[in-house]
Structures are given as C-alpha cells and as structure tokens.
Chain A
C-alpha cells in the first residue's frame, strides 16, 4: 500500500481510518464452515456445513452490494471455500462484477485443470495455507497429508503459469524457526509469502498456550520482517511488534470494524475474522439494511470508530506504535480490551495472563467442529456426513 499526498491532507491516514470508511478496504468472507481438514488452530472452528448457509442467490446479492460499495476485492475463506458446489460460479460472478477475489484454500481442489482456469483470470488470486516448511511440522497442525496436498497445488499453479500466488503461514512456536525455509518454498513456486499471527480464536484458543511463539521468537520474527520490508505480506497482523522500535510496513492499527470486517457463512457480520463471538457481531447481511447498512450504521461499528481508551496502556511510551495490540487476542485470552496485548513485547500481557483469576475465558459462540476428526468415511457421524454431502 502506498499513500500519495497532494496538498493539505486531513490529518494522518491512520486517524482517518480509525474513524471508519464508506466501505471496508479489506473484507473477509467465509463462504462455508465445511472443511475437509480439521486444523487444530482453526480460527473459525470449522468442520461441518451450517444448514443456514447463504444460498447462491443470497451470495450473489451480497456481491452486487459489494460492487455498489466499490469493495475492490474480497478475501474468501472458510472452512474450505472450494467445497461449496457453487464456488466457481460465485468466483466468476464476483469477478464479472468488478469484485476481485483472493481465496484461501488448503489446495485440495487445485487440480491442473482448475489451475489453468485460475491462471487465465487477472481478477483472482490464490492463497495456499501451509503451517510448516516440512511435512512433519505442517501435518502436526493441519492433518496428515496436508503438506503434500498444498505443495501439489503450488506445483499445479506454477505449471499453469499462475503468477504470484500467496503462501499463507500462521507463525507458531514450531515453525517460527523455518521462516527462511518458507521463503525458499515461495521462491521455488514464484509465490509471495504471507506470514500472519496465531490468534486464540476458534479452536486456536485450545492450542494458543502451547503454540504461540515465545518472546524470543517474536523478537526474531520482528527482525526478520523488518529486514524484508514489503516483500513479505503480513495482513498487518504484527502491529503489536512495532513497540520494539521501528514500525513494520502496513497501517499499524486494529482495523476491526474500521477498515476490515468478516461476513461469515450464515451472513453474520463480525468486526474482524478473528472475532467470531456475539460480542463482536454487528448484524447480518439478510437484514433489510443489508451489508451496507450494517457496515455504515451498526451500533457496534459506530462504537469501534469512536475514540477508544488505551486504558492501562495509555501511559506506556510505546502506546502510539502498538496501540494496545489485537482486540481478539485480548478477548479470547480473558484480558481486558483496554489493556495490553497478551503478547505485549514489554511482557505486560504475560504478567496479566499469569495473574488471571478464575473468571471463565470467553468461548467462541459459534462452533462447527466435527465431533471427532474423521479417519475413515464410515467413522463419520452420520449427521456430519449429511452436511458434507449437502455442502458438496
């Protein structure tokens, strides 16, 4: 992203963004909670399809709205979005209506034929998730065989001449030492590396204590990102690390309800993809006011765009750079929203985590996890099987 001046700007861009925009810059749309994997850290607790999922016609109506609002592109995810039977139809519909699509996938449906088709469009970007630079590290989190599947998808995209796909990595304690290896994989397939932060959201809450990077790894990650600049995408997810000194590239603010939001598979609109909880639910696209109305007028988003208190952080000399960190990370670790991030680089979060009392930590209010991971199809819960069939 680049800012272009030209006489008397009205305050800084960050100030403007904190007040909200006519439409989101970056909208995540999770098309389905159905997934053929069961990653241990899934931010949306995906697995089974929700019977109340938006229909094809409803999805198209959302796309029409996004076109009217001039949302340039959407980040489509899930679940595994490609398991929806109408996925390719919706992809074509969006791009035909000037809404670019970047979709996240585990790669299981990126066959050579699909790769050829994707390579032919300027308006589609593909992001393949891997969470380990080796099968051993990746599969421990994403499931047996998922590394080979993802690499196979990258090979197919590369062979089809797809330019610059993204490789998306969530940094964990086990892969934080593999950053150079991830970069090498990206280079091998002409891809761009995207590194994001592990949030204690969805099933991520269950594994966060064990998987989130150590303080030392955070410091190394910061140095690594700083040295590589805009070459590495981060979805702005490490702005809390800016308190180490220099700002990382990006906007460096919590964009929840201001520049980003999430539409979930049943049309619920949340402040951000990591905040699937009724506390951060702004409305639903099925309401008469539509997504536009929810974005522009909902009480929650209006509140998020009003000046926020830095609380305990306000007196800290680093508040201007980290701005108290990630709202979802605080919420799902049971920390106050106006205090430090659990991974505050000064260690204030760690102290608070250690001092938590018996107050229950908020649980996600939506959970589509399968009851147990399927090892053979006949082991599956019959209900889950029904959802899977219905979802494609």
Chain B
C-alpha cells in the first residue's frame, strides 16, 4: 500500500468482476479468488471511471470526489492496487 500514483492511468484488472450493492460493491478477482468490498457507491463510481480517464485523479474528479476527499480515495485505490483489483494501464 502506501504510495499510489494518482497521476498515472489505471484500469480495473480484466480478471476482476464488480457487482454493485446498496453499500457500494463487491469486487471478485478470478485469479487470486479474493473478494473485496467497496464500501461506498462513490468509490465504485471512481473505479468504473478509471479505464476511460487519462489518470486516476481525473477519474476521481469525474466521479464527484472533492479535493478534501482525495486523500481518502487515494488510500482506497492503493488498497485495491495492492490486491491487484486495479492495475496500471499501458498507454498506447
């Protein structure tokens, strides 16, 4: 965990499926067979926007995350990166 590069492009790991739930979402990694819980709908919105956004901070902004909230989302994204739920995206 720790550092997470908000200025780089990220994507949902293709091996991961997301299932929206009232509290947020479940994320399941078919490779590691690990389940994670996204504890808010806002975090789900960020993760869903990663693929189309030029970088993670743009995805956060597009999902309505304010500057003050950014550090908490950065920590959440770092956790998701640590379990390979999200992975760096190669830019062509």
Contacts and interface: CB of A to CB of B under 8 A. Distances in A.
A8 B40 contact: yes
A7 B43 contact: yes
A9 interface: yes
B53 interface: no
B33 A100 contact: yes
Contacts of B46: 6
B79 A125 contact: no
B42 A22 contact: no
A4 B34 contact: no
B42 A6 contact: yes
Nearest to B77: A6
B37 A72 contact: no
Contacts of B23: 9-11, 13, 16
Size band of the B side of the interface? Answer: 20 to 34
Contacts of A387: none
Interface string B8-36: 00000001010111111010101101111
A304 interface: no
Contact of A4 (B20, B42, B80): B80
A57 interface: no
Interface of B: 15, 17, 19-24, 26, 28, 30-31, 33-40, 42-43, 46, 65, 69, 72-73, 75-76, 79-80, 83
24 contacts: A1-B35, A2-B37, A3-B36, A3-B37, A4-B80, A5-B39, A5-B43, A6-B40, A6-B43, A7-B43, A7-B65, A7-B73, A9-B23, A9-B40, A10-B39, A16-B22, A16-B23, A21-B26, A70-B17, A72-B30, A73-B28, A100-B33, A122-B30, A125-B33
Given A5-B40, A22-B22, 19 more contacts: A1-B36, A2-B79, A4-B36, A4-B79, A6-B40, A6-B76, A7-B42, A7-B72, A7-B73, A9-B23, A10-B22, A10-B24, A11-B23, A19-B22, A21-B21, A21-B26, A22-B21, A98-B17, A122-B15
